[in-house]
Amino acid sequence: MNILLKSAKIVCPENKDLHLKKRDILIKNGIIEKIATSIETPSNTKEVDFKNLHVSLGWFDSGVSFGEPGHEERETIANGLTVAIKSGFTDIVLYPNTYPVPDTSSDVVFLKERSLGKSTNLYPLGTLTKNAEGVDLAELFDMKNAGAVGFYDFKQQIVNPNLLKIALLYAQNFEGLVFSHPQDIHIKGKGIVHEGVVSTRLGLKGIPALAEELQIARDLFILEYTGGKLHIPTISTAESVKLIANAKKKGLDVSCSVAIHNLVFTDETLEDFDTNFKVSPPLRTRQDSKALVKGLKDGTIDFVTSDHIPIDVEGKRVEFDNAMDGSIGLETAFGSLNNILGMEETISLLTKGRERFGLETPAIKEGEKACLTLFDPDGEHIFGVEDILSTSENSMFLGAQLKGNVYGVINNNKTSI
C-alpha cells in the first residue's frame, strides 16, 4: 500500500515541529517514508487530496461493546470493526459483554483471531471473575498472556471488597489492570435514572450519585492498602472527580474514563421517555457534566470513551423501566466532542490512553508505522438514522448537531479511504 497525503494539516501536539503544519506525507508499505512541504507523487502511489484534510495519530477507544459471541444480532465483530474504522478509530478495547463471557485464555484468543486483518486493532478485556459472577477470580494470568489488556466484570459491582483486594494484589505480579465498575448495587436498588428533580417529576426510580461515590471511595481505600493498578470506567458525578483527584495526589495508581454522552447530555433529556437515553451510569445533572469536562481538562479524568453498546430493537422498544441500558457511540464520538471541546483538545483526548493498557503509542515521524486518522474538523451536520453504521440503531445522538467528518484511517498497511 503506497499513499501520498497532499497538504495534510498535522494535529500532533507532542511534536512541535509538525503540529498544525501542512505537509505532504508519503507512506510506502505501511511505513511513513517521508514528510515534507511538497512531495512529487511516485509511480504506483495513490494520491489523497481531500478538502481541509487533517491528520492525527490513530484514535483510541478504551471501552467498546459488540455482541459476538452470543449476541450477533446486536453487532458482529466484523461489522463492529468496520464501524470503528469508518468512525476514525485504529485501536479499541473490547468490553467482555458477550455470551459466554471471556473468562479463559481460549476466549481471549478467539476474540483476537476474529479481528485479524483489519485496519482497527482489537484488544479484549477478560472478565475479573469466573462467568462474571463475582465469586472466584478468573484465569487472569493466562488471559493476560493470551492478549487481554485488563479484567472487568462488565457494568457489575465487585460486591465483595476482599475479592477486589485479592485481585489487586495478585495482578501486580504481571502488571494486570483491574477494572471496578463504580456503582453500589445496594444503594442503586431498583433505580434506573439519576435521582433528582427530573426523576421525581417523571415518576422514575432514581439512582443516587451516592451509589457511585460510595463505591469509588471504597475501592480507593482498598487500592491504597494493596497497591496495584485500578481503572474506574465511566464515572459520572462531580464528587467522583474530586475523589479521584485526591487519590492521585496521594500517588495511587488509579485511572478513570468518562463516557462522551455524559459530557453532552443531562437527565433533562429524559422528558420524552426515549429509551435511547437509558444508560449506565445514568445521565446526571448539568453541574455534573461541567465538572466532568473540567476534570478532563485538568487531567483528573484520564480519557474519554464512546461506551459504544449496541442493543437490538427488542431491548429498546419497550417501556422505559424495562429497556436495556446502552447507546451506540462510535459514529458520533468525534463530532460530539469536537462540538464542545474544539479540535485540538478533542484530538488530544482521542489519541491518549494506550499506555494505561500496556500498548505502544504510535508516532507521526519518518520510519514509523503509519497509524493515522484522516478527518475534516469543520462543517456541521445533523446526525440521522442514515448516518448509523452499526447493526443496532440505539443512538441517543439522533437529531444532534455534530461538527466535523471522518475521512478514514491508515493502519496495519491498510486503508479505508
Report the catalytic residues: 307
Q: Which amino acid is at 229?
A: K
Q: Which amino acid is at 11?
A: V
C-alpha cell recorded at residue 192: 434506573
Under a CB-based contact definition with an 8 Å cutoff, are residues 385 and 378 in contact? no
Q: Is it true that the peptide bond before 281 is cis, omega within 30 degrees of 0?
A: yes
Under a CB-based contact definition with an 8 Å cutoff, are residues 269 and 400 in contact? no
Q: Which amino acid is at 393?
A: E
